[in-house]
Amino acid sequence: MDNQYDNEDLDIERDDAVIGVAIWYSAIGLGAVAVVALGIGVYLWLQQKPVVDAPIAEVDLPTVRAPLEKPLPKIPFEDITEKSGIQFVHENGADVEKLLPETMGGGCAFFDYDSDGDQDIFLVNSKSWSWNGKSPASTMALYENDGTGVFTDVTTKAGLEVSFYGQGCAVGDFDNDGDADLYVTAVSENLSSIQKETQPGANHLYRNDGGVFVDMTQEAGIGGRSGDWGTSCGWFDFDRDGDLDLWVCNYLEWSREFDVKQNFTLTGGGRAYGRPQVFGGAFCCLYRNDGNGSFTDVSESAGLHITNPVTGVATGKSLGLAFCDFDGDDWIDVVV
């Protein structure tokens, strides 16, 4: 029995010796790691550069700005309207009702209508409203350039003594016969929503026949939709088939009936012109030239019917446009 206990004591002593050696080596390892970490920290600290505060330089500004050495040139334009013979007054039909179209002016175009080599001028007019009972004395106006800067009124001779609520115009040879034709946009004079559904569009196409303009709107089919308020327009070959197609901007959904019901007023005053925000939007129109004097409305298939995704109604209220190949792919693009 004593030998058994002696052997157990011997085993315990051996185990304690092994554990002691393990602890000793662990302490040496941890000490080595600590020494290395301390050395790296000291090295990095010694590598730091001292921060030096740079002085802020003061900038002296002159109390008085020195004038330009050269004066700006004067704008070299002179008003020659009177001496050129142009006598034109735009009629907007303004009356007590203060309707939104009355806030617009009319378009104009320089073009050689008689093919004599100089630029003549066409001026778009509006008129008094049909419900006012006044005779529509105002008409479109065409002035012929005699080549010296003097213009003669040839409106009647050219067949353009016509009266409607005109807005914009575009010049282009739509029938490829060598002379410039004319398209004029207009406001539809709808008295009520019922008439809006029955009246034709108000825009007009005039074909130039040797200096005399013939109304080809009905034959061409590009008078616009009933109730349209046409603004800007332009000719361009959108499908590259060799003839001119037509883009027409429409402003908004307007009628006298709706305009008057809005009861726009000024603070402390009476009736006032309203804001376009309360009127619904309208689609632009794209008419493809069929090459035989008629056109096809391709507005929807060409992607012009842009609507509110929630309400499904038109969102655009278009007033102007420009053509350019902005991406260089040889197809004419349109900015509206």
Indicate if the pLDDT at residue 164 is higher than 70. yes
Indicate if the pLDDT at residue 92 is higher than 80. yes
CA-nearest of 207, 213, 201 to 156 is: 213
pLDDT at 60: 76
CA-nearest of 129, 131, 141 to 90 is: 141
Q: Taking all residues of the chain, what is their mean pLDDT, rounded to a whole number?
A: 87
- Report the DSSP beta bridge partners of residue 296: 288
Mean pLDDT of 115-131: 95
Region of poorest pLDDT, from 19-28, 100-109, 172-181? 19-28
Mean pLDDT of 255-268: 89
pLDDT tens column, 182-239: 999 999 986 555 555 556 789 999 999 999 999 999 999 999 998 999 999 999 999 9
**Which tops the pLDDT comparison, 38 or 259?**
259
User: Which sign does the torsion angle of CA 28, 34, 40, 45 carry?
Assistant: negative
pLDDT band at 5 (very low <50, low <70, confident <90, very high): very low
CA–CA distance, 128 with 106 (Å, rounded to integer): 14
Question: H or E segment at 12?
Answer: helix 2-47
* Residue 117 falls in which region: left (phi positive, over 0), alpha (psi -120 to 50) or beta: left
Domain boundaries of the chain, sorted by first residue: 87-335
CA-nearest of 334, 330, 267, 266 to 304 is: 334
CA–CA distance, 108 with 54 (Å, rounded to integer): 65
CA–CA distance, 324 with 331 (Å, rounded to integer): 9
Quick count: other Cβ atoms within 10 Å of Cβ 85?
Answer: 16
Give me the residue label for tokens 């398209």.
183
pLDDT at 43: 64
- Top mean pLDDT of 168-172, 190-194, 225-229, 306-310 is at 168-172
pLDDT at 44: 66
Task: Please give the share of the chain, as a percent, with pLDDT higher than 90.
Answer: 66
pLDDT band at 107 (very low <50, low <70, confident <90, very high): very high
